[in-house]
């Protein structure tokens, strides 16, 4: 008889605060991208929605962006003055730019500020995967799944599954005692049941059931011996993983 396949179990509760924050940041960024779309189409006379062009605009430094937009404006509108090179014309004071030029710069500044906030969360999902020609900008099932995995912790092996099951039973019983006002849910009085369990349990006194297994349970003494020892690796943020 073959061994049962290991099924990871969710540890404690999902970090819904971080989930909501990242969700809102991406939704705001997509809304800004759609607004930027109309300004870019008017300014550069782009016949179709070029998502790559849109995201590439966010990668330019401010001075480079200004130059790029001016050059593309001259090119797309076939602007010319006899005796003046088109590139020099784009860089000169002779070029009269419509209001959309400053509007685009403003939109891109706002979008870069949102990308900066997303980068700080350490969650990275490429924006190009969130655009579809039929549906436009939309948070996909793949995005939702990855964000759920990012804001949730799961067991790594069968031994951890057994420990989580026992800790969860302890939390359930203790929560019942708290609900019956036998012990207090706030503060540390519940911990007299077993001091070691302070490393395994998270206490949220604002919840109806304040106790749940901590997502950090297998990173703390004495439970850390039940997990794989993964060497520390500093997180390297990469904006291109978002703007891709």
Give the mean model confidence (pLDDT) for residues 168-190.
Answer: 77
The full 3-state SS of 175-232, as one line of letters, equals: HHHHHCCCCCCCCCHHHHHCHHHHHCEEECCCCCCCEEECCCHHHCCCHHHHCCCCCC
Tokens coding 225:
């011996």
pLDDT of residue 207: 79
Could you give the CA distance from residue 147 to residue 155 in angstroms, rounded to a whole number? 17
Could you give the CA distance from residue 78 to residue 90 in angstroms, rounded to a whole number? 11
Taking the CA atoms of 161, 231, 117 and 123 in sequence, report the sign of the dihedral they define: negative
Could you give the CA distance from residue 148 to residue 143 in angstroms, rounded to a whole number? 9
Instruction: Name the pLDDT band for 38 (thresholds 50, 70, 90).
Output: confident
> Mind listing the pLDDT tens digit for each residue in 124-139?
999 989 998 888 899 9
* pTM, full prediction: 0.80
Backbone phi and psi for residue 203, each to the nearest 5 degrees, phi listed first: -120, 110
Tokens coding 161:
């599954």
Question: Please, where are the H alpha helices in the chain?
Answer: 16-44, 51-57, 62-76, 86-91, 100-121, 141-150, 158-179
> Mind listing the pLDDT tens digit for each residue in 70-119?
888 877 777 766 666 666 666 666 677 888 889 999 999 999 999 999 99
Domains of the chain, residue spans: 16-150, 158-226
Do the beta carbons of residue 127 and residue 240 sit within 8 Å? no
Do the beta carbons of residue 110 and residue 35 sit within 8 Å? no
Tokens coding 232:
């520390």
Strand pairing report for 211-213 and 201-203: antiparallel
Q: Provide the greatest CA pair distance for the chain.
A: 91
Q: Name the nearest CA neighbour of 193 among 170, 211, 172, 210.
A: 170
pLDDT of residue 1: 41
Do the beta carbons of residue 63 and residue 8 sit within 8 Å? no
Could you give the CA distance from residue 227 to residue 218 in angstroms, rounded to a whole number? 6
Residue identified by tokens 């020892």 is: 229
Higher-pLDDT residue of 207, 143:
143
Q: Name the nearest CA neighbour of 175 among 215, 195, 205.
A: 205
Instruction: Name the pLDDT band for 40 (thresholds 50, 70, 90).
Output: confident
Residue 210 pLDDT > 60, yes or no? yes
């Amino acid at each position: 008889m073959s061994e049962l396949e290991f099924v990871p179990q969710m540890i404690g509760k999902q970090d819904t605060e971080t989930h909501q924050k990242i969700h809102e940041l991406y939704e705001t960024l997509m809304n800004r991208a759609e607004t930027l779309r109309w300004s870019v189409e008017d300014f550069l006379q782009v016949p179709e929605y070029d998502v790559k062009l849109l995201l590439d605009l966010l990668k330019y430094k401010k001075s480079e962006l200004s130059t790029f937009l001016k050059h593309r404006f001259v090119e797309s509108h076939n602007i010319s003055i006899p005796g003046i090179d088109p590139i020099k014309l784009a860089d000169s004071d002779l070029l009269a730019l419509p209001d959309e030029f400053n509007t685009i710069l403003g939109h891109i500044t706002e979008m870069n500020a949102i990308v900066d906030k997303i980068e700080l969360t350490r969650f990275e999902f490429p924006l190009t995967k969130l655009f579809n020609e039929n549906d436009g900008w939309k948070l996909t099932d793949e995005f939702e799944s990855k964000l759920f995995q990012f804001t949730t912790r799961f067991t790594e092996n069968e031994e951890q599954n057994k420990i989580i099951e026992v800790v969860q039973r302890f939390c359930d019983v203790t929560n019942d005692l708290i609900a019956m006002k036998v012990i207090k849910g706030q503060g540390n009085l519940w911990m007299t049941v077993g001091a070691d369990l302070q490393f395994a349990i998270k206490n949220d006194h604002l919840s109806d059931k304040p106790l749940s297994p901590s997502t950090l349970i297998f990173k703390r003494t004495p439970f850390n011996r039940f997990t794989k020892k993964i060497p520390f690796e500093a997180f390297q943020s990469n904006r291109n993983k978002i703007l891709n």
